[in-house]
Structure 1
């Protein structure tokens, strides 16, 4: 940490940096976080609710907290929200650990009054990340090969509300955009016009599905999970 900021963040300086300080503080409180360095004097923590970044202010003692949901490709920025700031390092560490443990939003707001979650929660309720992800995938030249399949899936009233990603050429739809283990299916378009689909369980077999049966098969597969 820069020498002119030592007086602002003595516990961070003593620990050798923000990454070490947060890991040590979380451990002392019986929690666990795994921050990844993202910039000088800033860190990013990967969680099931997006990427949480912590940036110390330079002219005053203040830890600024932001949540980011990456876009569908590396050149698409995704969504970011400022969710609060605090000068209390202990509370900051407890909040990040609670966020990582998926404590309900109303409980987070009650425990950590410095948080401002209204905009973030409203965006989730409106489905903004999901609708934007669909738009990004349907317009990204990198995913042109999947456009026809994406359009077919997006046309269904149920499937368009699921969060889409593309993995090794297959389209993955999952119910909860933050939960990689939530109900989901993978669909791969074959050269002959038919599809292979797999319920999102490790080790599950791919099943070939005729084009006319695809939507019905996916709905049934999701209901069975």
Structure 2
């Protein structure tokens, strides 16, 4: 046992912090995977081992224990995030950062901690080309996983467009809305009728994937209820793409 060397713990905290930043500020699956895989399978477990004080003799033993501790942390995190309704990339990133930071603090305040295992160069029978082959295999696995995640994210099994018309209570207005989940931008026309009479028309609305368009239409309230209908057209084929209706209450 000897005084703790905390450079590895500081690096682990920095890595976990970068993972949180990637989850918060970017949607890149490649970057998230590159930061997340080492964190999930190794880094968290390494800091836990340093915090608990389990000694390891060789690098192989330390890596094996680290992987096991990391997986145990993920299992515990799955239960915790489930009850906290945080099973999403940001929730997982914060969980990993929290475990890493807590383990770093615990390891840092310990008076003694097990020495880090020997470096690769002093492992009997381990050569440089072994390390290069191991690194290449890890990069291939990470790259394949990142490619699969990217394809899954960009693949849309279903393409659709939401369309609605609803009366806004107390304001005498109708709200017409479009939300696109298409694979590319679409051009739409909207026609609104009130009791089968033309009431409002909107031409050439360009709606990008994920974009929402809404518009409030003032309506004169009468004694009797009025039926409002809205039709959504695509100019390229000039057919009704969506048809919705709503009842405007009378006085």
TM-score, normalised by the number of residues in structure 2: 0.25
Which structure has more helix as a fraction of its residues? 2
TM-score, normalised by the number of residues in structure 1: 0.27
